[in-house]
């Protein structure tokens, strides 16, 4: 029996409860999921995702009582690990007082002050319920501030699911990411290649119409590719010179590699920044922050204010409380940051060496604690970003996730991200599992 069949049989036989829930899910929910990647591609190879009932520290427990080392960590938002006792206590205490009033709250002020104090480019902030909303608001503020219509976004850049920026996210880059979205020219979007000289000309040529350039310093949904610092510097210089705003999407990178935004380490400061995930402590959040004169356009006392922050659940009391507590802990966590960054870097380097030495059809990208394993349709020697995207094999990636689940490891995009609760032992166990399963997956025809 081939590797795929063995793994599917092993997986399916032992997970009757997840299988039953999956059968019910696909009846009433399109594709069985409410976020498009939460099936891990498993239906494409005849399997189904596991249903999780609880999580603590580095672990998730599914409805069939399997325990997994988890690297997805709530879409990378749980940097302190699952069910952190300090954050849990704060949430429970707030919960007892009632959980949504639709009013202003002290925690909101405290969290805003902390974000402003820790990040020089952030002079004011507005909270929303999701990163998607914050990206939408950032581009709206930019268009209003500059009076110009166009937004330039990176090819492979992922800024959430709003119509506004859903262009050229996935190869083969056909513009809008699917039906139901306006073509780029009607939506005021142009897209550019990261780490590519031609982008300079594109910005120059469109300067008179360009309101903003938006980019993630590490392309996340695009595949965990760090953008070259020289490229980010070029974007800053060009935008500054040509009266274009620069927006950094730090929804993944913010507070991930050290306390504060990644831009502080890069020493490149945008005009606006979007934040989310970690700064909400694992509850719903989006933040847009930046220069006061741009952010002040959102002040409702202005006759001509820019609509920024509707949302029944914006600045939800539980999110504000969880975010605040998380940041307080992170501020004292330089040792954990250093340790997690170091084991992440070692993991990326060592696995790439193994894949290279054994001619396996895999590549690891990422930065420090943020790790993506790409399954490829064939072996490539030292593949670059464009090759990795071009030879991506979705089905092999699904088989990788399945085989990892069979070895009690839960990830996304291969692995995902390290949190402070991951130990060297977890990493060694994971590395061993990856080294065991990638040779047979490389030989599996799917
Ligand atoms: C870089 C980036 N921007 C924006 C978003 C959208 O945030 P949310 O899912 O909270 O709407 C995400 C989410 O994965 C993201 O990774």
Average pLDDT over residues 142-150: 98
Q: What is the pLDDT of residues 32-77, one digit of tens each?
A: 999 999 999 999 999 999 999 999 999 999 999 999 999 999 999 9
pLDDT at 221: 85
Please tell me the distance between residue 37's alpha carbon and the centre of ligand 1 in angstroms.
13
Residues 63 and 138 grouped into a single domain: no
Residues 181 and 253 grouped into a single domain: yes
User: Is the beta carbon of 153 within 6 A of some atom in ligand 1?
Assistant: no
Domain of residue 117, residue span: 85-331
Residues 225 and 313 grouped into a single domain: yes
Is the pLDDT score of 263 beyond 90?
yes
Residues 232 and 312 grouped into a single domain: yes
Residues 102 and 64 grouped into a single domain: no
Residues 183 and 36 grouped into a single domain: no
Please tell me the distance between residue 405's alpha carbon and the centre of ligand 1 in angstroms.
25
Please state, for a pLDDT cut of 70, what percent of the chain lies above it: 100
Residues 285 and 181 grouped into a single domain: yes
Residues 305 and 289 grouped into a single domain: yes
pLDDT band with cut points at 50, 70 and 90 for residue 309: confident
Please tell me the distance between residue 23's alpha carbon and the centre of ligand 1 in angstroms.
28
Nearest alpha carbon, ligand 1 atom 8: 131
Q: What is the pLDDT of residues 370-421, one digit of tens each?
A: 999 999 999 999 999 999 999 999 999 999 999 999 999 999 999 999 999 9
User: Is the beta carbon of 317 within 6 A of some atom in ligand 1?
Assistant: no
pLDDT at 231: 98
Given the CA of residue 157, which atom of ligand 1 is nearest to it?
1
pLDDT at 324: 98
CATH code for position 431:
3.90.1150.10
pLDDT at 446: 87
Which pTM does this prediction carry? 0.98
User: Is the beta carbon of 276 within 6 A of some atom in ligand 1?
Assistant: yes
Residues 134 and 63 grouped into a single domain: no
pLDDT at 204: 98
Q: What is the pLDDT of residues 186-218, one digit of tens each?
A: 999 999 999 999 999 999 999 999 999 999 999
Please tell me the distance between residue 276's alpha carbon and the centre of ligand 1 in angstroms.
7
Please tell me the distance between residue 169's alpha carbon and the centre of ligand 1 in angstroms.
13
Q: What is the pLDDT of residues 316-343, one digit of tens each?
A: 999 999 999 999 999 999 999 999 999 9
**Of 278, 298, 331, the domain-final residue:** 331
Is the pLDDT score of 129 beyond 90?
yes
Q: What is the average pLDDT score of the chain?
A: 97
pLDDT band with cut points at 50, 70 and 90 for residue 310: confident
Please tell me the distance between residue 102's alpha carbon and the centre of ligand 1 in angstroms.
24
Domain count, the chain: 2
Please tell me the distance between residue 175's alpha carbon and the centre of ligand 1 in angstroms.
19
Name the residue of 277, 280, 287 to mutate for ligand 1: max ligand atoms within 8 A of Cβ. Answer: 277
Residues 163 and 90 grouped into a single domain: yes
**Of 306, 331, 356, the domain-final residue:** 331
Residues 14 and 63 grouped into a single domain: yes
Name the residue of 37, 156, 221, 417 to mutate for ligand 1: max ligand atoms within 8 A of Cβ. Answer: 221
Residues 112 and 188 grouped into a single domain: yes
User: Is the beta carbon of 252 within 6 A of some atom in ligand 1?
Assistant: yes
pLDDT at 295: 98
Given the CA of residue 221, which atom of ligand 1 is nearest to it?
16
pLDDT band with cut points at 50, 70 and 90 for residue 1: low
**Of 271, 296, 331, the domain-final residue:** 331
Please tell me the distance between residue 17's alpha carbon and the centre of ligand 1 in angstroms.
30
Average pLDDT over residues 270-296: 98
* 3-state helix/strand/coil string of the chain: CCHHHHHHHHHHHCCHHHHHHHHHHHHHCHHHCCCCCCCCCHHHHCCCCCCEEEEEECEEEECCCCEEEECCHHHHCCCCCECCHHHHHHHHHHHHCCCCCCCCCHHHHHHHHHHHHHCCCCCEEEEECCHHHHHHHHHHHHHHHHCCCEEEEECCCCCCCCHHHCECCCCCCCCECCCCCCCHHHHCEEEECCCCCHHHHHHHHHCCCEEEEEECCEECCCCCEECCHHHHHHHHHHHHHCCCEEEEECCCCCCCCCCCCHHHHHCCCCCEEEEEHHHHCCCCCEEEEECHHHHHHHCCCCCCCCCCCCCCCCCCHHHHHHHHHHHHHHHCCHHHHHHHHHHHHHHHHHHHHHHHHCCCCEEEEEECCEEEEEEECCCCCCCCHHHHHHCECHHHHHHHHHHHHHCCEECCCCCEECCCCCCHHHHHHHHHHHHHHHHHHHHCCC
CATH code for position 267:
3.40.640.10
């Amino acid at each position: 029996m081939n590797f795929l069949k063995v793994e599917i049989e092993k997986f399916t036989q032992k997970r009757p409860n997840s299988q039953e829930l999956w059968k019910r899910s696909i009846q009433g929910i399109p594709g069985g999921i409410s976020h498009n990647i939460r099936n891990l591609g498993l239906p494409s190879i005849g399997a189904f995702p596991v249903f999780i009932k609880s999580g603590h520290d580095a672990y998730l427990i599914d409805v069939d009582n399997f325990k997994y080392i988890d690297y997805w960590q709530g879409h990378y938002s749980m940097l302190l690990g699952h069910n952190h006792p300090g954050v849990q206590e704060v949430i429970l205490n707030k919960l007892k007082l009632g959980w949504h009033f639709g009013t202003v709250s002290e925690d909101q002020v405290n969290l805003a002050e902390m974000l402003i104090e820790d990040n020089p480019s952030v002079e004011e902030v507005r909270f929303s319920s999701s990163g998607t909303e914050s990206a939408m608001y950032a581009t709206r503020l930019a268009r209003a501030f500059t009076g110009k219509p166009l937004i330039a976004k990176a090819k492979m850049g992922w800024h959430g699911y709003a119509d506004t920026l859903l262009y050229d996210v996935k190869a083969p880059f056909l513009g809008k990411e699917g039906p139901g979205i306006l073509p780029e020219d009607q939506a005021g979007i142009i897209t550019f290649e990261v780490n590519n000289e031609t982008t300079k000309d594109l910005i120059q040529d469109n300067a008179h119409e360009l309101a903003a350039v938006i980019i993630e310093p590490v392309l996340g949904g695009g595949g965990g590719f760090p953008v070259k610092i020289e490229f980010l510097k070029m974007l800053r210089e060009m935008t500054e010179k040509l009266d274009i705003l620069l927006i950094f999407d730090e929804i993944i990178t913010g507070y991930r590699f050290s306390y504060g935004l990644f831009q502080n380490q890069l020493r490149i400061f945008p005009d606006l920044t979007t934040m989310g995930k970690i700064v909400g402590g694992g509850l719903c959040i989006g933040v847009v922050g930046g220069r006061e004169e741009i952010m002040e356009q959102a002040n409702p006392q202005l006759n001509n204010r820019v609509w920024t922050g509707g949302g029944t659940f914006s600045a939800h009391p539980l999110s504000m409380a969880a975010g605040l507590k998380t940041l307080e802990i992170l501020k004292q966590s330089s040792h954990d940051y250093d340790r997690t960054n170091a084991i992440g870097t070692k993991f990326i380097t060592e696995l790439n060496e193994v894949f290279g030495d054994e001619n396996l059809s895999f590549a690891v990208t990422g930065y420090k604690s943020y790790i993506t394993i790409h399954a490829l349709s064939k072996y490539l020697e030292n593949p670059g970003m464009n090759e990795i995207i071009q030879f991506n094999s979705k089905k092999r990636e699904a088989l990788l996730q399945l085989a990892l689940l069979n070895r009690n490891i839960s990830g996304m995009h291969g692995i995902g991200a390290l949190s402070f609760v991951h130990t060297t032992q977890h990493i060694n166990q994971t590395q061993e599992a990856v080294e065991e399963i990638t040779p047979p997956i490389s030989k599996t025809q799917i």
